């Protein structure tokens, strides 16, 4: 893995899920898991309609990062340093080589009214 190509710093967060009185889970706060360096690779983009009034741009991306079994878990999300408006939700990851790196599959949603 060419480490010099990992040029984007991100902060990884996990969501706390708490069971309420009715037995359903609600998310409360985010825990900071750590910082990492990644390389962003755009994959595809499409527009969808939500609630008849707003258009949502749904993007899926692939990111390349150093190997970690604790940061890149499905359900976590990360923010790119300097851009706190866009959350990238981790949908899955796979190992590259023998613990050489990780390919992270993420989805982001940016709302347009």
61-90 pLDDT tens trace: 889 999 988 888 888 888 888 777 788 888
pLDDT at residue number 14: 87
Mean pLDDT computed over 30-49 = 78
Q: State the total domains in the chain.
A: 1
* Coil, helix or strand at residue 5: helix
CA angle 36, 38, 43 (to 5 degrees): 140
pLDDT at residue number 82: 78
CATH value at residue 77? 2.40.10.270
* Coil, helix or strand at residue 22: coil
Measured in whole angstroms, how far is the alpha carbon of residue 85 from the centre of its chain?
A: 13
Mean pLDDT of the chain: 79
- For residue 15, the tally of other CB atoms under 10 A from its CB is 15
Q: Domain range spanning residue 35?
A: 3-112
CA angle 67, 62, 80 (to 5 degrees): 80
pLDDT at residue number 59: 75
Q: What is the pTM of this model?
A: 0.71
> How far is it, in rounded angstroms, from Cα 77 to Cα 112?
21
Q: Which of 46, 14, 12 is nearest to 28 (CA)?
A: 14
């Amino acid at each position: 893995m060419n480490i010099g190509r990992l040029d984007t710093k991100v902060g990884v967060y996990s969501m706390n899920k708490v069971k309420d009185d009715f037995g359903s889970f609600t998310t409360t706060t985010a825990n900071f898991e750590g910082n990492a360096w990644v390389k962003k690779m755009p994959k595809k983009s499409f527009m969808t309609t939500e609630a008849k009034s707003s258009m949502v741009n749904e993007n899926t991306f692939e990111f390349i990062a150093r190997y970690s079994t604790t940061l890149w878990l499905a359900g976590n999300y990360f923010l790119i340093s300097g851009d706190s408006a866009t959350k990238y939700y981790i949908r899955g990851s796979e190992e590259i080589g023998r613990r050489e790196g990780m390919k992270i599959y993420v989805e982001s949603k940016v709302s347009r009214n």
